[in-house]
Amino acid sequence: MARKRQGERIEPKFSTSKAATRSGKAPAKRPAKPRAAAKAASSKSKAAASRAKAPARKVPAKRPASASSGKTTFRRKVTRRTTRRTTGRTTGRGTARRGFLGVIGRTVRGVVYWSVVATIIVVAGIAGLVGYSWSKLPPSAEWALPDRPANVRIVSADGRLITNRADTVGQTLSLEEMPAYLPEAVIAIEDRRFRYHFGIDPIGLVRAFAENFSAGRIVQGGSTLTQQLAKNLFLTPERSFERKIQEVILAVWLEASLSKDEILELYLNRVYLGAGAYGVDAAARRYFGKSARDVSLAEAATLAALLKAPSRYSPIANPKGAEERAQLVIAAMHEQGYITDREASLAMSQEIRAVRDVAGGSGRYVADWVMDQLPSYVGALDTDVVVETSIDLRMQSLAASALNKTLAEDGEARGVSQGAFIAMDPSGAVKALIGGRDYAKSQFNRAINAHRQPGSSFKPFVYLAALEAGMVPETVRIDEPVSINGWKPENYTRKYLGPVTLMSALSHSLNTVSAQLAAEVGPRRVAEVARRLGVVSPLLATPSIALGTSEVTLLEMTGAFAAFANGGEGVIPHVIDRIRTSGGEVLYERQGSGPGRMIDPYYVAMMNAMLQDVVVRGTGKRAALPGWQVAGKTGTSQDFRDAWFIGYTGALVAGVWFGNDDSKPTKKASGGNVPAITWQRFMSAALDGKQPVPLPGTYHFRDPNNPGGLTAPIVTIGDDGEVLTVVPETTGSIVRPASARPAEPRKGFFRRLFGD
C-alpha cells in the first residue's frame, strides 16, 4: 500500500459490477497465467513497489467501472486531516524517548544476566577451592582438639621462678578465674562481633578490605578469634591461600563443636603473647610478675595490645608503644560499653610497670640449656613438671650486669661485640650462665655451644702433664726461640728471658716454654690430661696443642678448672638438680659427686701455687680479690680473636670469654684486660660478705740457698702482659717434704721431642 502523505488519510474501497452484486455471485476467477505472464506480473509488482517508495501525489479519483465490465476496482479516497505544525516534532521526541528507554532496558537485562553468570562461576570456583582444601585436611572424623602440651616450670636453687618453657606455658585458667575485663579487652580490640558471627565475620572482612585498599597495603586483618584459634591449634604458620581456606573450614567446625565461651577460653590460654609466653597467665607473669587472675584493667589492656604484634608492643622492649596501643584498647572497651567513663579514665592514667626478666633476659639461656637436657632425663612429657636447678638468681643477675657493663665501657674500644660467662661451685653445680650480650637479639648460647680457641688458658693442662711426668714448679727451662718439626712459636711480647722456672714461665705465659714441655711429655699426653678433666671437644694432638689451638667451649674449660679448686676431683658441670611433677612426684634427682679423683693432691697443691702466682704477679693480676686466694689463667688466641680468663677461689669457679661471632680480630683484647676485669667485677660482688675459703694444698716455692724463706719475685708483668722487671734469681730446686715423690729422670732431647 502506498505511503500516506502528511495531512491525508488514504482509505481503500472495493466495488464490484452491479450485475455481480445483484446476483449475489462472486466475480469469476481469471484463468491462471502462463509462466511468462507470471514473470511479467512479478516485474509489475516490483515497479509498483518502486512507485510506492516515491512521494505520494494527489491523483484525481477515477469514475467507478461500469457494471458490465464485471471487474473489481480499487479506489483511493484521500481525505484531508487537519494537524498542528508541531505534530512532527512531538512524534520524533516520543520515538527518541522510547529508543533511550529501550537501550537502558537492554543494558539492565545484560548486567543482570552476566551478574548471575559471574555469581555462578564464582560460587562454583569457591566450592572447588573449598573442596580441594578440604581434601588436604585429615578426615573430619579425626578432628579433635589437641591436648594442652606439658608445661615446664624452671626454678632456681631457692625455688624462685626463672621461666616457664614449653609449647604452651602458664596455668590454664577458666573464664571465671580471669577478671571479666581481660576477655572483654581481647574481644573489643580483636573481634568486636565475636558473640554474633559463625566463625568468619563478613563485615569485618569488608572493613579490612576497605582499610587495606585505602592505605595501599595490608594494615588490618579480617581474621576472627575463632580463625586465629584454628590456626594456632591445627595449622602451620605458612601464609598461603590454601591455608586460609583451611583456616575458615576449621573455624566453622570449631563454632559448630564448641560454645563461644569455650572458644574464648581456649584462645586466651593458647595465644602467643611474646617473650616466650603462651597464654595470658604466662604473659602476665612474664611482663607483670603476677598471675592473670590479679592483673588490673590497664594491665589487661596491655596484654590485649600484644596480640597485634607481640615484639612491637612489648611493655619491656617498647614501653611507649605498648602504652599507646593499650589506650586504644581501653577506648575500644569504652566505646563498646564494657567499661564506664570513670573506669576508662582511671585505666588510662595508670602507669604500667613491666618487670624485667631474670638478669635482663639471660635466664632464658639457662632455660634453653635445661630444655636441651630434659628429654635425656625424663623422656617425652605428658604432664606439667617443675625443674629445680642449681642457679643462684643473685649471681645470675651479677654475672649479666658485669658482662654488659664491660661491653658498654670497653667493648667498642677493644673491638669486641659479644661475651659469655659461667660460674659454678667447685662441685660443678652451675650458679650463673650468660650465653650472650642480649638474648632478644641472639639466642645462640656462646657459653655452651660456641667452640673457640682457648689460647694460653689451655696451658695448665700442659703444665699438669709436665708435673705428672716428674717436673716441679722450680724446674728450669730456657726461654728462647725454638723450632719443633718446623713450627716456631713466639712469645706474646716477642722477648725471651733465658732460664726460667716453670712457675715463672706459666705466670708470664711464655709460649716457648709451654711448647717445649708439650714436646717433652708428648702432645697425646697433654690431650689425655685435658680429656680427663672434662674437655670433651676433639683435640688435635699436635705440638701446637701447647698454645690452645684446638677449639673448646667455655663450659668445658670452666668445669676442668673446678678440679683445681676442689682438690683434684673431676666434675661434670650440671644445672638440673631435681625434676618433679606439679603434684610432687619425683621423676629425677641428682645423686653422686662426679667421676672421682682426677688429680693427685700433691700436684693440685703445685698447680694452685703456680696459678695463684699468675694472679699475684703475672698476666692475671687484674683479677685479684683482696682477702681471697685467687688462682687462674689468661688466654688470648691468634690475632686477638678470643680473650679468656678462667679463675677460681676455694668457694667459686668462673670463666669469661670475649670476642666476635664472626671471629673478627679484636683491638688487642687479651685475657689480662676485659675478661679479667669482668671476672673480678663479678667475684667481688658474688663473694661480698662471705668468709674467705683457702685453696687446696700448701705448696710453697723456696730458694734452695735460703731454706727458711721464699724467693723474691722472678718476673713482674704489666697490665697487658708487658715485662716490667726481671729478678736474676731464676734457678733453684725444690725442697721436698719427706713424703714427696722423687722426680723422674730427665729425658733426652729426641725423647722429649718425639715422645717415648
Active-site amino acid positions:
190, 456
Residue spans of beta strands (DSSP E) within 530-629: 569-570, 576-581, 586-589, 596-597
Residues 6+ apart with CB under 8 A from 485: 543
- Are the beta carbons of 645 and 655 closer than 8 angstroms? yes
Bridging pattern class, strands 152-155 and 385-389: parallel
Residue at 622: amino acid letter:
R
DSSP state of 550: S
Euclidean distance between CA atoms 29 and 17, whole angstroms: 14
- Are the beta carbons of 435 and 444 closer than 8 angstroms? yes
Expressed in angstroms, the distance from the first to the final Cα of the chain is: 138
- Are the beta carbons of 297 and 343 closer than 8 angstroms? yes
Angle at alpha carbon of residue 640, lines to 503 and 530, rounded to 5°: 50
C-alpha cell at 705: 740457698
Residue with cell 602504652: 323
Crossing angle of helices 260-270 and 280-288, in 10° steps, is 40
Beta bridge partners of 609: none
Q: How many CA atoms lie within 13 A of 493 on its CB side?
A: 17
> Residue 118: exposed, middle, or buried by beta-carbon count in 10 A (0-12, 13-18, 19+)?
exposed
Cα–Cα distances in angstroms (integers) from residue 27 to residues 21, 22, 38, 69, in the given order: 9, 11, 21, 11
Euclidean distance between CA atoms 154 and 363, whole angstroms: 10
C-alpha cell at 506: 706459666
Cα–Cα distances in angstroms (integers) from residue 331 to residues 307, 327, 382, in the given order: 16, 6, 42
Euclidean distance between CA atoms 537 and 531, whole angstroms: 8
